[in-house]
Chains A and B, each alone.
Chain A
Amino acid sequence: MTTRIIFLILLMASFRSHGQQTVNHQLIARNLGEKAMHDGVVLRTFGFAQSFSEHPPIPGPTLYANEGDSVVLDLFNVSQGAPHTIHLHGLDVNQENDGVPHLSFEVHHMDHGYYYFVAPHPGTYFYHCHVVSTIHVQAGMYGVFIVKPSDGSNTTWDGGFTYDQEKLYTMSEMDPLWHEDSVMEHDHDTSQSIHEVSIPEYHPSYFLVNGQSEQQLLEPDIVLQTAKEEVSFLRMANIGYLANRVTFPEELNAQIISTDGRPIVIPELSDTLWISPGERYGVLIEPTADLIDSIEISYVNMNTLIGENIQYVPVLVSGTSGLNEALIERPFELYPNPSADQFYIKSWGQAYDGIKIYDAMGRLVHVENHNYMDTEKMDINMDVPKGIYTVEILLNQVILDTLKWINR
């Protein structure tokens, strides 16, 4: 009898430690955001912010809850134009909380709207506005909602794979024409469920990963930096209007383990992953070798089936877990990598006056001598074969840094 009572107490304590909580999130809908693109162009955006002192980030803030948590999401609309909503994409909420205007409710300027749901299966989900979604999602009104397992641990789901770090990559595109006032200031009759709006042909010129592209992908929060035998869980999500063909370096041993918030019963070992608009995938990687490479993300037109652009997420694998801090402090960056005949050197403000390029045999194959500062484009028309090269960064003949470059 005594044993039975002790067991019950322990069981209740266990429930409490992983117990349901109420998680409150607030998103502020704005329609006068600004986003600086990689080439300096600034586009007007709509978006979701968490304070009034910032432009809404693109994508919006990543929201978290644990499985079983009761979530209260407060949408505060501080925008003068059309109403907004939150559609909880993939979270299978009930109709009232689904965020489709004529089937749920919409939130008008200076109003609050509250969405209630219990966080379901651990996984990666979207939230986005569903008012004229074709325009409002392109405008920037989207983000990711992550449901962790009930104990909040670095585990894919209760009883699933454990990992050392997780990275979120959200793909999308932007067409500057869609960010003109003539499109964004669309009329909206809230008494109607069908709307006449100006929808230009879609020809995106910015192809984004977490809202960034080209050299912006060198930011530490985007670079996949890991070590041999370290397990990383990649959450990959496509909220754009093109399909993504993702190619992982073979050495990452990419394993596709989940999709749309549900485990894949038989995980798929593959270095290629297609992600269509609205899909999410969970990818487990565990490198077996040191590596300087990139995850290649191709943006494929859904009609022509032709790739329109490729972005590269840098991958740095060095040493074993916990021994790669030196790479984080590297003062110089080389991108894109791999590349063909040219690349950029980013020095973060550090002056240098030359570079030397050596082939894999240690032979000097190219020299550049100029005074450089910050980001510089290097045209290396040296007609050398594809391969791995060593790039020395010099100042007064002193080597400041040594980088690897893959010429393809």
Chain B
Amino acid sequence: MPYKCFNPSNVFDNRNAILSYSISDTVSLTVFNNDMIPHRIGSTELGITSGLIAPGMNETVSIHSAVSGTFIYYDLENYPNNKILGLAGMIVFRNNSLASFYWNLKEIDSLWINNISSNNQLSTEYNPKFFLINGNHNPDINEDSSARVIGNVGDTIYIHIANTGNSIHSIHFHGYHLKIVQSSGHQSHQGRIKDTFPINPMEVLTLELVPHQPGEYPVHDHNLIAVTGANIYPNGMFLTMLIEP
């Protein structure tokens, strides 16, 4: 099906680039438009908006954040349709060198994508059949080293989650409770220690994990429809963490 992404090279990949920087960095980001229609990259939370990028042209934006955290960048042009086609990823500013992992959550309703591609219309009820983390589903997502949590007991691990889809997701961790370090949707939830984390569309979460026990434990959406896809179980938003002693 038609799909669009912000890739770090001219080679198409169904994973949007994960942009991860130190808090002290000022980033100059140049976006080349290899598509046939105009786009405009931006981040609401970071206050970034590029100029309109015509087909074949490019625009450079400067990105800096005074605070650490997880942010969403996306195509501001023809919103939300271009975002639904895939054009949304995450930027992370870190104030430490701790192990970090990145999950960009998104669902696929092929009817919506085909309708947008053919006539730029959203005419049906949203009914996604595929549920992805960084453009992948189980078991392939475990091959993504930026997504699969691997660490040791006692490590401090940050997990950066962005929901660039249209659905609510409810991410459940086996084996551990984690602390909410950042919640763009509910700032009052910061500091809560939980095992299940709802995340609304276009919101981000940063979670801190300090594993107390070794083992291989699943993490998955507890809307259990989202751990299926094409009549396969477990598919969708399901991966495992591997914690060594």
- Complex CA gap A276/B169 in Å reads 8
Chain A residues contacting B215 (CB-CB under 8 Å) are 94-95, 98, 103
- Complex CA gap A199/B195 in Å reads 26
B228-A279 in contact (CB<8A): no
| Chain B nearest CB, measured from A264 CB (Å) | 6
- Complex CA gap A268/B215 in Å reads 35
A278-B222 in contact (CB<8A): yes
A:180-216 near B, CB below 8 Å: 193-199, 201-202
- Complex CA gap A94/B153 in Å reads 13
Q: Is B1 an interface residue (CB 8 A)?
A: no
A262-B193 in contact (CB<8A): yes
B233-A279 in contact (CB<8A): no
Q: Is B95 an interface residue (CB 8 A)?
A: no
- Complex CA gap A196/B233 in Å reads 6
A198-B193 in contact (CB<8A): no
- Complex CA gap A137/B223 in Å reads 11
Q: Is B51 an interface residue (CB 8 A)?
A: no
A260-B168 in contact (CB<8A): no
Given contacts A202-B225, A241-B223, A303-B128, contact A90 B196 (CB under 8 A): yes
Q: Is B53 an interface residue (CB 8 A)?
A: no
Q: Is A250 an interface residue (CB 8 A)?
A: no
| Chain B nearest CB, measured from A46 CB (Å) | 14
Chain B residues contacting A262 (CB-CB under 8 Å) are 177, 192-194
Q: Tell me the interface secondary structure of chain B in the complex.
A: loop
A:93-146 near B, CB below 8 Å: 93-95, 98, 100, 103, 132-135, 137-138
B196-A198 in contact (CB<8A): no
Q: Is A89 an interface residue (CB 8 A)?
A: yes
Given contacts A303-B107, A304-B125, contact A276 B196 (CB under 8 A): yes
**A195: nearest chain-B partner, CB-CB:** B233
- Complex CA gap A302/B198 in Å reads 10
**A262: nearest chain-B partner, CB-CB:** B193
Chain A residues contacting B175 (CB-CB under 8 Å) are 92-95, 98
| Chain A nearest CB, measured from B52 CB (Å) | 30
Known A133-B234, A134-B228, A262-B193; further 7 A-B contacts with Cβ < 8 A: A195-B232, A242-B223, A260-B194, A262-B192, A279-B198, A302-B170, A303-B167
Interface range for B: 35 or more
Q: Is A265 an interface residue (CB 8 A)?
A: yes
Given contacts A202-B225, A305-B168, contact A194 B234 (CB under 8 A): yes
Given contacts A94-B215, A276-B170, A303-B126, contact A134 B194 (CB under 8 A): no
B:188-222 near A, CB below 8 Å: 188, 191-196, 198, 212-218, 221-222
Q: Is B127 an interface residue (CB 8 A)?
A: yes
B174-A100 in contact (CB<8A): yes
- Complex CA gap A211/B227 in Å reads 24
**B126: nearest chain-A partner, CB-CB:** A303
**B196: nearest chain-A partner, CB-CB:** A278
B residues neighboring A (CB under 8 Å): 107, 125-128, 138-139, 166-170, 172, 174-177, 188, 191-196, 198, 212-218, 221-228, 231-235, 240
Given contacts A194-B233, A199-B233, contact A87 B174 (CB under 8 A): yes
A:269-315 near B, CB below 8 Å: 274, 276-279, 300, 302-305
Of the listed residues B196, B221, B224, the one surrounded by the most CB atoms of chain A closer than 10 A to its CB is B224
Closest CB pairs A-B (n = 5): A278-B222, A95-B215, A276-B198, A276-B170, A278-B196
A302-B222 in contact (CB<8A): no
Given contacts A133-B227, A197-B233, A199-B231, contact A268 B192 (CB under 8 A): no
**A300: nearest chain-B partner, CB-CB:** B168
Could you write out 6 A-B pairs with CB less than 8 Å apart? A100-B174, A194-B232, A260-B194, A274-B198, A276-B222, A279-B222
Of the listed residues B174, B212, B234, the one surrounded by the most CB atoms of chain A closer than 10 A to its CB is B174
- Complex CA gap A264/B188 in Å reads 10
Q: Is A243 an interface residue (CB 8 A)?
A: yes
Q: Is A255 an interface residue (CB 8 A)?
A: no
| Chain A nearest CB, measured from B49 CB (Å) | 26
B177-A92 in contact (CB<8A): yes
- Complex CA gap A303/B170 in Å reads 12
Chain B residues contacting A196 (CB-CB under 8 Å) are 231-232
- Complex CA gap A303/B128 in Å reads 7
- Complex CA gap A244/B127 in Å reads 19
B222-A277 in contact (CB<8A): yes
A134-B177 in contact (CB<8A): no
B168-A302 in contact (CB<8A): yes
**B139: nearest chain-A partner, CB-CB:** A194
B192-A277 in contact (CB<8A): no
B127-A259 in contact (CB<8A): no
B218-A100 in contact (CB<8A): yes
Given contacts A94-B215, A194-B232, contact A304 B195 (CB under 8 A): no
B176-A277 in contact (CB<8A): no
Chain A residues contacting B213 (CB-CB under 8 Å) are 92, 94
Given contacts A90-B196, A94-B215, contact A201 B127 (CB under 8 A): yes
- Complex CA gap A268/B191 in Å reads 13
Chain B residues contacting A277 (CB-CB under 8 Å) are 170, 196, 221-224
B224-A133 in contact (CB<8A): yes
- Complex CA gap A87/B220 in Å reads 13
| Chain A nearest CB, measured from B70 CB (Å) | 19
Given contacts A265-B191, A279-B196, A302-B167, contact A95 B217 (CB under 8 A): yes
Chain A residues contacting B224 (CB-CB under 8 Å) are 133-134, 137-138, 241, 277
Chain B residues contacting A197 (CB-CB under 8 Å) are 231-233
- Complex CA gap A196/B232 in Å reads 5
Chain A residues contacting B214 (CB-CB under 8 Å) are 95
A98-B174 in contact (CB<8A): yes
Given contacts A98-B174, A103-B216, contact A199 B228 (CB under 8 A): yes
